[in-house]
Amino acid sequence: MTTFDSKALGKGRTGYVVYLIVRNLLVLWSRIYFRLSCSGREHVPKKGAYVMAAVHRSNLDIIVIAATTTRRQRYMGKETLWRKQPFNWLLSALGGFPVTRGTVDRVALQRCLDVVKGGEPLVLYPEGTRLSGPTVGPLFEGVSYVASKCSVPIIPVGIAGTERAMGKGSKGVRPCRVHLEIGPPIMPPVAVDGGRVSRAAMHALTEQLRDELQRLFDVAQSKV
């Protein structure tokens, strides 16, 4: 597995400056090329950790989701993306960290917990991979687990238009309108008497998140 550099969890000033420069350029490009719009930014916390849970239809999602906040957000990426320099350094500077696809990557899960416990925002795609179509698929419980374990809010986001712009298997990027719809924070259940949150409670939270993501996805699709 790719060696993990602690700087990928983001304390270096150089990495943060690179992030701000690249983030601002990508958001500006998205606003021009995709006529990117975003509703509900007031729901994104201005400080402290949270888990942003977004619908996932395109590799463009990680670019346009930067428009939700000027804060640096962390996200997971395929391990293979980190195999070449200087691309791996750039991904880490932008807040990314590698995971092994197709396996239960306990290291990746621990990195997610480290990010959130360190007070930083984390972006996860609870559908697990890029899907296609207007319906939110079954969700993995990773978002619920991390949010419950760290007692931080979940910020749900519907992203519409990126699949038309560059869906799975696309070889180019089309100038399609893209819209982000951010919903109110969803608070995880509180463990009783200092114990663990029950599996039933985490499952209920995941179902609540899926319903809210579908609502936001429907609203976002109506605006593109």
What tens digit of pLDDT does each residue of 190-211 get? Answer: 877 667 888 899 999 999 999 9
Record the tokens describing residue 149, joined without a space: 């374990």
User: Which candidate, 4, 7, 16, places its Cα nearest to that of 82?
Assistant: 4
If you average pLDDT over residues 79-100, what whole number do you get?
78
Alpha helices in 34-120 (DSSP H): 61-64, 87-93, 106-117
Q: Which domains does the chain have, with CATH numbers?
A: 6-221 (3.40.1130.10)
Q: Is the pTM of this model over 0.75?
A: yes
Q: Residues 43-70: pLDDT tens digits?
A: 999 999 999 999 999 989 989 999 999 9
**How many CB atoms lie under 10 A from the CB of residue 96?**
21
Cα atoms in the Cβ-side hemisphere of radius 13 Å centred on 122: 33
- Asked if the model's pLDDT at residue 173 lies above 50, the reply is yes
The full 3-state SS of 108-137, as one line of letters, equals HHHHHHHHHHCCCCEEECCCCCCCCCCCCC
CA angle 167, 169, 171 (to 5 degrees): 90
